[in-house]
């Protein structure tokens, strides 16, 4: 018998966690689906204040759910996002080309980041996809450039790159043009915060919603 007393049942831990998140988090400005995404982000980072920076375009959750239900590809800027996705919910539909040798070669030829170059390999998968960018602001900027050039349109962009150079600006650009100019819905966390874990959490939340799982 252990002298440490703690809850061991994973279902009970999750149930209590989300009950506590509801108590601590102001979800009043979100609809029911948005609140599920917001709570999953709070659960991931342990900080209810994150929701003050969370933003959705019109129709973002609906577009993500529709894409999930059709098995659309999920395009990830880095492997950390891809590995953070729940395969039980999402199957094997996540793709990441950051470590593809072709991306490295494109980056060398153009003098740009590998994260940017990898998006060239997204083109054939973009139409109707979920684009999940959680690390590289340059990748988010490049995705917006591709759309501006007439590339196929994803169903949803989850754009939450983190960092001190370009992260804030890339998310501001996403919010300014993706839906307004290209008709592509988006979800983001404004400011310096973001990252692979939060991006994967948002996509996982949509995966749960698509299967009727709510907290």
Q: Catalogue the active-site residues.
A: 43
Which sign, positive or negative, has the C-alpha torsion 48, 179, 62, 153?
Answer: negative
> At how many degrees (to 10) do helices 167-182 and 137-148 cross?
20
- Three-state SS at 150: coil
CB of 185 within 8 A of CB of 59? Answer: yes
What's the distance, CA 97 to chain centroid? 16
Instruction: Round to whole Å and give the CA distance between 117 and 170.
Output: 17
Confirm if 160 and 134 have CB atoms less than 8 A apart: yes
Do 166 and 141 touch, CB atoms closer than 8 A? yes
Strand runs labelled E in 13-58: 54-56
- Do residues 79 and 98 touch, judged by C-beta distance below 8 A? yes
Question: Which token pair is 22?
Answer: 């509801």
């Amino acid at each position: 018998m252990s002298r440490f007393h703690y809850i061991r049942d994973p279902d009970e831990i999750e149930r209590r966690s989300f009950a506590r998140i509801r108590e601590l988090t102001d979800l009043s400005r979100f609809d029911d689906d948005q609140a599920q995404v917001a709570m999953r982000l709070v659960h991931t980072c342990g900080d209810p204040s994150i929701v003050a920076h969370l933003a959705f375009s019109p129709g973002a959750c609906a577009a993500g759910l529709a894409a999930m239900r059709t098995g659309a590809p999920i395009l990830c800027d880095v492997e950390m996002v891809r590995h953070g996705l729940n395969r039980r919910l999402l199957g094997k539909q996540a793709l990441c080309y950051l470590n593809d040798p072709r991306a490295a070669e494109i980056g060398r030829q153009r003098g740009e980041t590998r994260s940017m170059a990898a998006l060239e390999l997204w083109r054939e998968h973009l139409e109707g996809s979920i684009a999940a960018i959680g690390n590289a602001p340059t990748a988010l900027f490049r995705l917006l450039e591709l759309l501006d050039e007439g590339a196929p349109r994803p169903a949803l962009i989850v754009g939450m790159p983190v960092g001190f150079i370009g992260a804030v600006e890339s998310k501001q650009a996403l919010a300014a043009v993706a839906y307004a100019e290209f008709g592509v819905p988006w979800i983001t966390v404004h400011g310096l915060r973001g990252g692979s874990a939060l991006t994967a959490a948002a996509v996982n939340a949509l995966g749960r919603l698509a299967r009727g799982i709510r907290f």
